[in-house]
Structure 1
C-alpha cells in the first residue's frame, strides 16, 4: 500500500511539473522568433553568432544636445583604414539580428555602427528594455524625424573621427530603417552610398532633388505596399538627375533579409537574401 501511495504521489507531482513548471522560462525575444533558434537554448541564433564572433564589439554613447544615444559598434580585423557603415534597424528596434548583421559586415572588412534610435526614450535605456516588440514599434513611430536625423549625424561624426576609418561612410537601412536611410541622404550629402532595403522614399520632390548620394534599392516582389511607391520615386530622382538603381527580387516578401534566414523560409526569400547580400558587398567595395 505504501509503495502504491508513493507511486501515485510521483505521478501527481509529475503532472504538476508539466502543467506549472518547476523553472522559470525566459520570454522569447523577437530575434528568437525571427531566426528560429532552439527554445531550450534561451538565446537566438543571432546572439550566439555575436557571442562567437572574434571581432571587437562595444557599446558607445553618442551625444547631441541633451540627448544620449546608445550605439553598437563592430570593428573589423584589419591592418589598414577601412570604409564605414551606419546600419539603421527595422521598426522593432535594435534587435539581435540587426547587431548580427553589423557583425557580418565587419567580417567583410567594414567598420560598422548601429544606433539604437529608441535608446533613452520612454524611460528605456535600450531596445531590449521594452516590454515586447510592439512596445518598441510604438516607440519607433513616436520619434521625431529631426531627432532621428540628429542621431544619425552623431553616428556619422563618430565614424568620421574614428582613427581606424578612412572617411568613406555608407548608410544601410531595413524597412523603417530603409526609409530613414533614404531620408538621411536628403540631409547629409557627404554620405558615399545609401542602401535601402524595402523602405520608401520621402514623399517630397524638393527633398529628393537635394540628394547627391547614389541610392541603391532592394525590394521583394511580393511587397506592393512598398513597391507601389517606387515608380514615383524613380521619376522624381530621374528628373533631378540623381542616381537611383534598384532590384526587385521576384517572389520575395517584405523583410526577406531576415525571413530568408529561417530554416523553413520559402526559396524566393532565401534566393533574394543571397543575391542581395552579394550585390550589397559588390557595391560597397567599389
Structure 2
C-alpha cells in the first residue's frame, strides 16, 4: 500500500512539473533581458522578477501580481510576455521574507504550502510592498513613470484591493479576482478598473453585480468581459500547449484586450 502511495505522489509531483515545463521553456528561449531585483524599504526586502522589452524608447511599466501559489514559473513567463508586447514588467514575490526558513516562493516545499502562507499575510504589508515596487519601477531609467497593475486569481483580488489604496497607477487589470465589498474603500478608487472573467467561474462572477453597482454609484470606471466557456485561471490554462479550446480562446481574447488597453493608456 505504501508503495502505491509513493508512486501516486511521484506521478502527481511529476505532472505538476510538466505543467510548468512550457513556461520554463518560454523563459529560457526568450531573447529579452531578465533580472532579479531586490526592493528594500523600512528594513524589508522584496524579491522581484523583471523583464525588459526590446525597444529604443521609454515605456510604461506593468506590475504583475501572482496567483495564490506565489511567484511561480507561469507568473514569470507572463511577465516576459508583457515585455514581448513592448512594456517593462515587474513581478514581485509577495512571499518575500515570510520567515527565516521561507525567504521566497521557491523556498516552500510545495505550492500548497506557499498558498497557505499567502493567506496569512498582513494586507497592510501587501499594500506597502506594492507601494515600494511601484515607486521602484516607475523610476527606472527605461520607464516613462506610468504604471499599470495586473493580477491573477489571488493577485486579481489584490489588484482590485490596491486600487482602493493607491492613486498612482494609471489602471488596474483584474483577472478573475474578487472585488472589495466596502463602499468606503471603493470610493477611494481613482483609476479605471478592467475585469477579465471566465464564464464558468461563478464563485468569482457572483460578486460582479455588487461591485458594478457600487462603481457606478460612485462614478468609477469599471469595464469587464466574461469569456465564454472559460473557467477560473484561464490565462494560465490557456497558455498551456495542451489547453482546451475554451481556455485558449479566452486567453487569446483577453490578451488582445489587455494589449489594446495598454496601447490606449500610452496614446
TM-score strictly above 0.5: yes
With over 3 angstroms needed to count, the CA separation of the structure-2 counterparts of 1:222 and 1:138, relative to structure 1, is same
**Whole-Å separation in 1 of the counterparts to 2:143 and 2:228:** 36
Q: Which residue of 1 is the match for residue 185 of structure 2? A: 207
TM-score relative to the length of structure 1: 0.85
Partner of 1:273: 251
CA distance in 1, matches of 2:241, 2:77: 17
The residue aligned with 2:35 is 58
- TM-fit CA distance, 1:270: 1.2
Q: CA deviation at 1:259?
A: 1.1
Between 261-270 and 147-156, the greater mean CA deviation after superposition: 261-270
Deviation at 1:75, TM superposition (A): 1.1
Q: 1:69 aligns with which of 46, 55, 59?
A: 46
- Deviation at residue 28 of structure 1 after TM alignment: 3.8
Matches within 5 A, 1:34-53: 34-35=19-20, 44-53=21-30
Structure 1: runs of 5+ lacking an equivalent? 1-19, 36-43
- Give the unaligned 5+ runs of structure 2: 1-5
Structure 1 segments of 4 or more deviating over 2 A? 27-30, 32-35, 261-266
CA offsets, 1:22-72, max 9 Å, x none? xxx9x5485x3534xxxxxxxx12112111111111111111212111111
2:160 aligns to what? 182
| Structure-2 separation of matches of 1:171 and 1:93 | 16
The within-5 A match list for 1:162-177 is 162-177=140-155
Rounded Cα–Cα distance in structure 1 between residues aligned with 2:106 and 2:47: 12
**How many residues matched?**
255
More off after superposition, 78-87 vs 119-128: 119-128
Shift of 1:265: 2.6
The equivalent residue for 1:236 is: 214
Task: Say if 1:29 and 1:77 are closer, same or farther in 2 by CA, change over 3 A.
Answer: farther
Q: State the match for 2:90 in structure 1.
A: 113
Alpha-carbon distance in 1 for matches of 2:14, 2:109: 11
Aligned 1:12-161 pairs, distance under 5 A: 28=14, 30=16, 32-35=17-20, 44-122=21-99, 123-161=101-139
Whether the 8 Å CA contact 2:22–2:241 is kept in 1: the answer is no
Q: SS where residue 243 of structure 2 aligns?
A: coil
Contact 1:34-1:259 within 8 A present in 2 as well: no
Once the two structures are superposed, what CA deviation does each residue of 1:116-172 show, in whole Å capped at 9, x if it has no partner? 000221321221110001000011101000010111011101112111100110000
CA distance in 1, matches of 2:182, 2:76: 31
* Contact 1:34/1:258, CA 8 A, preserved across alignment: no
CA RMSD of aligned residues (A): 1.9
Point out the structure with max Rg over C-alpha.
1
The equivalent residue for 2:194 is 216
